[in-house]
Structures are given as structure tokens and as C-alpha cells.
Amino acid sequence: MTTIVESRTASAELFVGAIGPSAEVVPSVDALRHHLEQRPDEFAVVLGAGVNLTAAVSLADTLRVTRPALSVILLRQRVDSSVLAEALRSGMREVVEERDLTGLSLAVRRSQSLYEALTAAHSGHQESAPGRLITVFSAKGGVGKTTVSTNLAVALSDAGHKVCLVDLDLAFGDVAITLQMSPVHTISEALAIVGDIGSEELRPLLTKYSANLSALLAPTSPELSEPIGRHLIGKILTTLKQSFDYIVVDTPPAFDEHVLQAFDESDLLLLLVTPVLPALKAAKVTLETFDLLNFPRDKSRIVLNGYNPKIGLSPSDIETALKSEIFVSIPTEPTEVPASMNRCEPIVTSHPRNPASQAFVALARKCVEVVPTAETDARPGLLVSANTDGRSLFRRRSKTS
Ligand SMILES: Nc1ncnc2c1ncn2[C@@H]1O[C@H](COP(=O)(O)OP(=O)(O)OP(=O)(O)O)[C@@H](O)[C@H]1O
Ligand SMILES: [Mg+2]
């Protein structure tokens, strides 16, 4: 957040307009000192042109020691070299002419980025985030990405983990229809968030599926996805890691900028392949692309979907061609899997004994083994505890709206 020291109402309104409505205004440096005591997360202070230079310098001198991640931005009617020199010596980050509202807005944004970088580096924020991100990907369409990601998310949540399913197939995503959720709120609303995006800001955008499973749904029409950039996706995914044990990401069949961002944030990448030659060729090219992107091989696993022992390529053919072991094989269930999709109910819920459901449960368990959360590490019985009542290991949960 930003605080502006400005006693002239008209100027204060202009500055708030440039910075954003979350900026707060105080009338004096004394009021600012008091205000900052209550605001440990403030990232910028803007000192209006009415603030006397000596008071501004003295304040900046103190803040650079007591609040090094907080930037002081000085506004002056005219910026000359003597003001600039004194400001920089005292530790102010920027000096901007007061009529340059664009310059002010950019200076505040730079301050925010600096604050985020400094506080993340200091607290090891990224590394200590509890959530693990699992991306389900294939460069080929129709190989089962949505089927696998939805069933994996449900299986993980049934096992007691707090899960968020993100539909990153922004133009044509069908997580909502697959799980029969109405897309009242979607990821495109994140574009309207002013200032920093935190868990509080994201919560209203999520759609609840069950007690442990929420979803961040794709926009309702393709053109709404266009303004969504890679940076925003990165911010959303890292923020979700603060609130969920697992984030499962469904993807479009393409290496678009959003998918590349999800790769960057992924702890585990499930590369789907079906037992047919074109899918195998796509998986091979994808693995080569991972190498070109410097994506660590040890973070990806091959998932064979639609396995049929009587037809198609054999698992050993696939392993030989991809020079990688198959992590989990999901059998083809030509009746039950499409039928469950048409009923908008994941097969792990509707038919828990079906071999495909059991494979999804096994996939969830193996994912937890490969990328445990801090909580599963501390409580190794978490997966098993769901079995103590004699019901299935991954309990069926009723849907809540
Ligand atoms: N193991 C399976 N057995 C039988 N049918 C399956 C299996 N997995 C997926 N399918 C069916 O294949 C079709 C495509 O699945 P899905 O929509 O999950 O693929 P996708 O990769 O997400 O597609 P897109 O690239 O278009 O997003 C669906 O009709 C689904 O029911
Ligand atoms: Mg899909």
C-alpha cells in the first residue's frame, strides 16, 4: 500500500487517481509517522510538494534504516540537481515533478516490485510457500487433460488435502462444465484487482466445489482471456500456494505464455500421452522442448491415459521411445469415463471401484509422494487416516455449492 502526505485536497485527489484507490492520504509528516506504525506492509510513501525538504530528508534518513523495503517518493514543483542530490543522499528512491502523474504512478509501481522482491528474498517467501503446484499438460488436444486434472483434484481433496483446480485453458476451458459449476466468477476478474493480489483478493474469484476443493474457472468467452498476461498468471499461482495444499492446473493443448508460466511455477508436471503414434510423437517433442526451456526433467512424469492392453502401443514401447518410465497408467474406459463427463460428475466420485478411478486415486497418492506438502511431511498418516473408518482410502464427499 501507499501513503501520501498532502494537505491540499485537490492535489491529494489527483495523486490517489494516479496511484489507485487503495492509496491513503495523511496531512502531515507527523501523522505519517503514526500511520506507518499501524502499517507494516506499506511499500511506498509519497511526500507532496508542500512537505518541507528538511523534514522530508530527515524522514527518509530514518526510514531507510527502520523500513528498508519502504520507498520514499518525493514530489516537487520543479526537480533540480540540488534537490535530487539531497534526496538521494537521504535514501529517497525517486523524485518526481508533481504534475507528472504518469511518472508518479510508475514510481509507485517500481516501489511495489522492489518491496515484493526484498520481502520475498528476506523471508524466503516463495520457497516456504506450503502449496505444491501440479500441472497436467499435453501439446495434443483431446488426450484427457481435463479428465485427469479434474479427477486428480477430486482424489486429492477426498484424501483430505485442500485443493484448488485452476482452468488455464483460458479460451476454451471446460473444468466448469465437467464439474457442473456455474462460472459466476472467473479468472478474468483478477484483471480488475487494483494493487497487490493476495489470498484475500483471490478468494471471491474462486468457485467452491466441495469442502476441500475450489476452482478458479476460465473466462466464459475466449475474448475475455486476451488481456490476461503471463505476469498475472504467475502472481495468481504463487498466491494460491499460500492458501492451498495442492494447486492442480488444467491446460490447453499449446505452449502458450500462460502454460509456460505454469511450468515455471510447477513442482510437478504430468505429461499425458495416449497409446497412439501421434500422441507419442507429441510427447517426445514436448520432452525435447522441456530441455530447451531448461525445465528440470526430474519435475516431469509421464502419465499414460487410455491404456488398452489389446490395442495401441504397449507401455514398454512408450517408455523406450520417451526414455522415461511411465508414472501411472490410466486404463481406457470407453463407456464410463465419457459417461461421467456427460453427467458432469467425476468418475472417482460416481464409480470409485472403476479401474480408471482407482488409477486416478493411485495417481493422487503418487503425486503426494513425489511432492509432499509440509503438512504431509509432518503427518505421514494424512493419506492413510482417511481409511480408518473402513471406507475407501479416498473418501467420497458430497458436493457443496
Ligand atoms: N481413460 C479414458 N477412457 C476413456 N475415455 C477417456 C479417458 N480419458 C479421457 N477420455 C475421453 O476423452 C475425451 C477427451 O478428454 P478431455 O476433454 O479430458 O481431453 P483434453 O485433453 O482436456 O481435451 P482438450 O485438449 O480439448 O482440452 C473425453 O470425451 C473423455 O471422456
Ligand atoms: Mg481440456
Instruction: Pick the residue whose CA is nearest to atom 16 on ligand 1.
Output: 144
Domain range list for the chain: 2-125, 129-385
User: What is the Å distance from ligand 1's center to 109 Cα?
Assistant: 43
Q: What is the DSSP string of 279-311?
A: HHHHHHHHHHHHHHTT--GGGEEEEEEEE-SSS
C-alpha pair distances (Å), 20 with each of 58, 70, 304: 27, 18, 49
337 lines ligand 1 (CB under 6 A): yes
145 lines ligand 1 (CB under 6 A): yes
CATH code for residues 129-385: 3.40.50.300
User: What is the Å distance from ligand 1's center to 401 Cα?
Assistant: 25
Phi-psi region of 222 (alpha: psi -120 to 50; beta: other; left: phi over 0): alpha
Instruction: Pick the residue whose CA is nearest to atom 15 on ligand 1.
Output: 144
For residues 248 and 166, the answer to whether their CB atoms sit within 8 Å is yes
Calculate ∠ Cα 177-182-188, nearest 5°.
95
For residues 297 and 291, the answer to whether their CB atoms sit within 8 Å is yes
146 lines ligand 1 (CB under 6 A): yes
332 lines ligand 1 (CB under 6 A): yes
Contacts of 96 (CB under 8 A, 6+ apart): 73, 74, 75, 76, 79, 103, 104, 107
Q: What is the DSSP string of 189-251?
A: GGGG--S---HHHHGGG-EEEETTEEEEPPPSSGGGGTT--HHHHHHHHHHHHHH-SEEEEE-
354 lines ligand 1 (CB under 6 A): no
Residue 286 is placed in which grid cell? 514436448
For residues 360 and 333, the answer to whether their CB atoms sit within 8 Å is no
For residues 7 and 32, the answer to whether their CB atoms sit within 8 Å is no
Find the ligand nearest to 174 CA: 2
Residue 372 is placed in which grid cell? 509432499
Cα Rg of the chain, angstroms: 26
pLDDT of residue 387: 32
SS3 74: strand
Q: What is the DSSP string of 43-55?
A: -EEEE-TTS-HHH
C-alpha pair distances (Å), 6 with each of 12, 41, 51: 6, 20, 8
Domains 2-125 and 129-385 belong to one CATH topology: yes
Instruction: Pick the residue whose CA is nearest to atom 30 on ligand 1.
Output: 338
For residues 131 and 373, the answer to whether their CB atoms sit within 8 Å is yes
pLDDT of residue 390: 27
pLDDT tens-place values along the chain, 401 residues long: 899 999 999 999 999 999 988 899 999 999 999 999 888 889 999 999 999 999 999 999 999 889 989 999 999 999 888 888 888 889 899 999 999 999 999 999 888 888 887 876 555 444 445 899 999 999 999 999 999 999 999 999 999 999 999 999 999 999 999 999 999 999 999 998 877 788 888 999 999 999 999 999 999 999 998 899 898 999 999 999 999 999 999 999 999 999 999 999 999 999 999 999 999 999 999 999 988 888 888 999 999 999 999 988 999 999 999 999 999 999 999 999 999 999 999 999 999 999 999 999 999 999 999 999 866 554 444 443 333 222 222 222 333 33
User: What is the Å distance from ligand 1's center to 304 Cα?
Assistant: 12
Q: How far apart are CA 222 and CA 211, in angstroms?
A: 30
User: What is the Å distance from ligand 2's center to 106 Cα?
Assistant: 38
pLDDT of residue 269: 97
For residues 241 and 120, the answer to whether their CB atoms sit within 8 Å is no
CATH code for residues 2-125: 3.40.50.2300
Residue 213 is placed in which grid cell? 476443493
What is the separation, in whole angstroms, between the first and last Cα of the chain?
34
Find the ligand nearest to 143 CA: 1
Range 318-323 contact pairs with CB under 8 angstroms and sequence separation of 24 or more:
318/273, 318/275, 318/280, 321/280, 321/284, 322/273, 322/280, 322/283, 322/284, 322/287
